[in-house]
Amino acid sequence: MAVASSLFVLAGCGGPNTPTTTTTTTSVPAVTNPPQLTCPAPQPIQSFAGIPVPVSYGTATAANGSPPVVIVCTPPSGSVFNVGLSTVTCTATDAMQRTDTCSFSVNVLAPPRLSVIKFLAFGDSITKGEDGSAGLSASSSRFHPSVLLPNAQTYPGVLQQDLVERYTAQMPTVFNGGCQGEGLTGDDSPCGFSRALGRFTSFTSTGLFPAVLIMEGTNDLFVHDSLAIPPAIDGLQRMVRASKGQGVRPYLATIPPIDPNGFRGATYSWALVPDLNERIRALAASENVTLVDVYQGFGGNFSLLGIDGLHPNADGYSKIAELFFTAIRETLETPAPSPLGADAFTGRTH
């Protein structure tokens, strides 16, 4: 009995001849919630040419799910979308083949349009496009030999090109009605009319121009007298009211700064420019017309003027065109109506 007991103990202790047993534990994937997909926000994009355009949209994101979670969107980002409203559907699939789906809209807008496409740019030599870098010496008169930039570099020319590029479904035009040497007061007639107002109404009364861009007053500062400002403002007011009476929409601009270090700027009352412009702003407010603040747009940057200190250079004319373009876009643009549902938020199906 003692021997048998000893053998039992050895077996229980796992002696050298005792077989070992290995236990293998199988890992069970942790149970996760199904994937939950979030689509990007609705995507609007402008087609300025009115044709299908490629659209790159944001990324859909998935929460939860057993990795890897694969997300597929149809049509994929970068695809070409037609003008109008299209739907993109995205699906997330996890390792357990569970899915979630969401959708969002891509709205390709038709070209914007203007309610008015013919403009009269009315003013003096700055509107005409005189090159402030071409003069050689000052003159005792505001009428002096000068060189004009090509129309494409004048502010009306640049403005027309800007309008044509944006409003591709239309053909906007800007007529250059600038007159060198013209002032709002006085009896001289550099362009064949006794006063600026007479020349102004000869244009606006034709019915050809639904909108007029008015920028006058620089030549009235040639006299170096603040007493010239009230009659200049009166002249502008008459133009504004005349255009309204003829059904023409006026845009009233302040004048650019004058550099006293320029050889012609020194012959003008450059210090009176802020006063004149402040009264132009007040006139625009009292007459409830759109103000185009050219003076503020220049920001005191004389590098936008030619060496004469009076006339803008090509960059200055581009700046004036930009300011008028912004005013026109903000007041006359009529975007194509969005298709029904263009403001739809992210949708979800399961």
- Range 134-151 average pLDDT: 66
∠60-61-64 over CA atoms, to 5°? 145
The answer on pLDDT for 115 being more than 60 is yes
**Residues ≥6 apart with Cβ < 8 Å to 221:** 228, 258, 268, 269, 270, 272, 273, 276
**Greater pLDDT, 135 or 76:** 76
pLDDT-above-70 percentage for the chain:
81
The band of 199, judged by pLDDT with boundaries at 50, 70 and 90, is: very high
Phi, psi of 280 (to 5 degrees): -65, -40
Helix (H, G, I), strand (E, B) or coil at 134: coil
Give pLDDT, residue 145.
60
**Residues ≥6 apart with Cβ < 8 Å to 312:** 126, 132, 155, 256, 304, 305, 306, 319, 320
Give pLDDT, residue 28.
46
- Range 186-190 average pLDDT: 62
Give pLDDT, residue 264.
86
Q: What is the pLDDT of residues 33-79, one digit of tens each?
A: 999 999 999 888 988 888 999 999 999 999 999 999 999 999 999 99
Q: What is the pLDDT of residues 1-22, one digit of tens each?
A: 444 433 333 344 444 454 444 4
The answer on pLDDT for 302 being more than 90 is yes
Give pLDDT, residue 192.
60
The answer on pLDDT for 121 being more than 60 is yes
What domains can be seen in the chain, in order of their start residue? Answer: 36-110+338-349 (2.60.40.10), 113-334 (3.40.50.1110)
CA distance 41 to 13: 70
Give pLDDT, residue 107.
94
Give pLDDT, residue 194.
62
User: How many CB atoms neighbour CB 200 within 10 A?
Assistant: 28
- Range 284-298 average pLDDT: 98
- Please tell me the least confidently modeled range out of 14-28, 126-140, 246-260, 297-311: 14-28
Give pLDDT, residue 135.
55
Q: What is the pLDDT of residues 156-178, one digit of tens each?
A: 999 999 999 999 989 999 999 99
Whole-prediction pTM value?
0.75
Give pLDDT, residue 346.
40
Mean of the per-residue pLDDT values for the chain?
Answer: 86
**Greater pLDDT, 153 or 131:** 153
The answer on pLDDT for 342 being more than 50 is no
- Please tell me the least confidently modeled range out of 37-46, 182-191, 236-245: 182-191
The answer on pLDDT for 187 being more than 70 is no
